[in-house]
């Protein structure tokens, strides 16, 4: 009897905490269904007319200042291309680093791992001037372009990714690769046909860890893409918009709601893998 009472209390406390945790999202939702006037006089009440949410969403979607459709597309392009590049390039790099036992390969791996402690702040200003220099010298434009953005994410994302792949590949028996060789695979085929499919769980972890970070990142796009650029990511769009429309909360909150919807849907669909991936990435 005593135990079940104790459990009811615990269930209740947790349920309350759960509601408190989700309350800010609820606030965003109800206020996205209000017009500018209602939101100012009654930010806590339920909306009078839920269909306002549709009008607000259309308003943001077509607003020339937030450029939501374009920003959404840019965010998708940058995130997807960066993730593909990070997983393919980091996994193949980690594989040759594990399978080649020389001083050089040890040293390269060590540098990758050591670089994980470098905070972004120390490289951000020189990165900008270096990208500018590269443009002047070679003519390749890295600032305000997709290429520069993806290059930056690959460069910043590869340390942790190579580290995660390295740890996993070490546990794959070498006999597997010898067997592939006897069957006539060359080294490239061995990696793409035999090894890469085995790496699937770690591919997922690397994609989740980097994906959440890249999708939400604000500072790096702010520096590399800049303000007022044709290419802008969603966080950048929201920040520019909120800065320009100070206190116009009906617009800002709807823009926020629309920035949250894609990632929350994606999360609910792949929830188990995402949580597993994020936890695995931090423990290893």
Which pairs count as long-range contacts for 191-198, CB under 8 Å and 24+ apart, including other chains?
A: 191/92, 191/95, 195/91, 195/95, 195/169, 196/91, 198/172
Would you count residue 282 as binding other proteins (CB under 8 A)?
yes
Give the list of residues 6+ apart from residue 28 with CB closer than 8 angstroms, or none.
253, 256, 257, 260
Q: Which of residues 186-205 bind other proteins (CB under 8 A)?
A: 186-188, 191
Asked if 46 interacts with other proteins (CB under 8 A), we say no
Q: What are phi and psi of 101, to 5 degrees?
A: -100, 80
Residue 283 touches other proteins, criterion: CB under 8 A: yes
Is the Cβ of residue 46 or residue 136 nearer to other proteins in the bound state? 136
Task: Tell whether residue 138 is a contact of other proteins (CB under 8 A).
Answer: no
Compute the least distance from the CB of residue 187 to other proteins, in Å. Answer: 4
15 counts as binding other proteins under rule CB under 8 A: yes
122 binds other proteins (CB under 8 A): yes
For residues 279 and 275, what is the distance between their CA atoms, to the nearest angstrom? 6
Does 21 bind other proteins (CB under 8 A)? Our answer is yes
109 and 166 Cβ atoms separated by less than 8 Å:
yes
Q: Is 28 in the site for other proteins (CB under 8 A)?
A: yes
Pick out residues in 142-181 that bind other proteins (CB under 8 A).
151-152, 154-156, 158-159, 162
Query: Least Å distance between CB 230 and other proteins?
Result: 21
In this structure, the number of other CB atoms found within 10 A of the CB of residue 6 comes to: 10
């Amino acid at each position: 009897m005593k135990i079940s009472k104790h459990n009811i209390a615990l269930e209740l406390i947790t349920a309350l905490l759960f509601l408190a945790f989700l309350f800010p999202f609820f606030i965003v939702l109800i206020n996205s269904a209000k017009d500018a006037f209602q939101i100012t006089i009654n930010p806590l009440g339920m909306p009078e007319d839920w269909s306002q949410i549709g009008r607000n969403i259309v308003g943001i979607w077509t607003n020339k200042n937030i450029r939501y459709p374009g920003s959404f597309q840019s965010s998708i392009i940058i995130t997807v291309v960066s993730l593909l590049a990070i997983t393919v390039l980091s996994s193949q790099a980690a594989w040759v680093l594990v399978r080649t036992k020389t001083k050089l390969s040890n040293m390269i791996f060590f540098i990758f791992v050591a670089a994980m402690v470098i905070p972004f702040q120390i490289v951000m200003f020189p990165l900008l001037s270096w990208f500018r220099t590269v443009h002047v010298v070679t003519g390749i434009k890295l600032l305000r372009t997709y290429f520069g953005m993806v290059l930056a994410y690959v460069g910043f994302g590869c340390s942790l990714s190579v580290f995660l792949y390295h740890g996993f590949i070490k546990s794959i028996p070498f006999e597997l690769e010898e067997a592939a060789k006897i069957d006539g695979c060359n080294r490239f085929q061995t990696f793409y046909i035999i090894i890469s499919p085995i790496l699937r769980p770690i591919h997922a972890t690397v994609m989740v860890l980097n994906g959440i970070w890249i999708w939400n990142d604000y500072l790096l796009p702010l520096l590399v893409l800049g303000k007022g650029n044709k290419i802008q990511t969603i966080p950048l769009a929201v920040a520019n918009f909120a800065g320009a429309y100070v206190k116009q909360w009906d617009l800002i909150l709807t823009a926020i709601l629309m920035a949250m919807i894609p990632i929350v849907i994606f999360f609910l669909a792949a929830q188990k893998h995402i949580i597993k991936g994020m936890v695995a990435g931090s423990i290893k």
